[in-house]
Amino acid sequence: MLDHPILLQTEACPAAVIHVVMPRDQIGSVMGPAIAEVLEAVASQGIGPVGPVFAHHSRITPGIFDFEVGVPVSGPLLPVGRVRAGELPGATVLRTVYTGPYEELGDAWREFKDWVGRNGYEAASHPWETFLSDPGKDLDPSTYRTELNCPLL
């Protein structure tokens, strides 16, 4: 289920990120450890997180995900392990919130991108999603909330 999209301008936001390129079917085994690694790095440096976990996509093909998983931070990051400094961009975006299990995010993105095109907008590259729910606390996947951000040309 998608909320009605809104148009807004985002501000650039410094972040700690890990760049991941992986087969789509490995998302379940890769995402959790990457999130834990980012969270540990920012906590140990006392700079965050200051916002929810996100996935910022560089390239999505039928078989491969190429993205950064990260969190917003309050100050400079010293690189540690795979974690490095990054940012969420400032951009004009259409934003919606998807409610439902992570396994159906692909369908939600398709529905959202169809809406974007039908309503006369032109999507740019590099969309991102922000995970508003914590699966460790929200035990019912049907209630997970994920913000979808579609940058515009």
Write out pLDDT tens, residues 111-136: 999 999 999 999 999 999 999 998 88
Quick one: the chain helix, strand, coil %, rounded to 5? Answer: 25, 40, 35
pTM: 0.94
Given a contact cutoff of 8 angstroms between Cβ atoms, the answer to whether 24 and 64 are in contact is yes
Token digits of residue 104:
């159906």
For the domain covering 6-151, report its CATH number.
3.20.80.10
Residue 142 confidence class, pLDDT cut points 50, 70, 90:
very high
Which alpha helices (DSSP H) does 47-141 contain, by range? Answer: 105-118
**Structure confidence by residue, pLDDT tens digits, 19-73:** 999 998 898 899 999 999 999 999 999 999 999 999 999 987 778 989 999 999 9
Query: CA-to-CA distance for 75 and 35, rounded, in angstroms?
Result: 19
Domain locations in the chain?
6-151
- Half-sphere exposure in the Cβ direction for 15 (13 Å, CA): 25
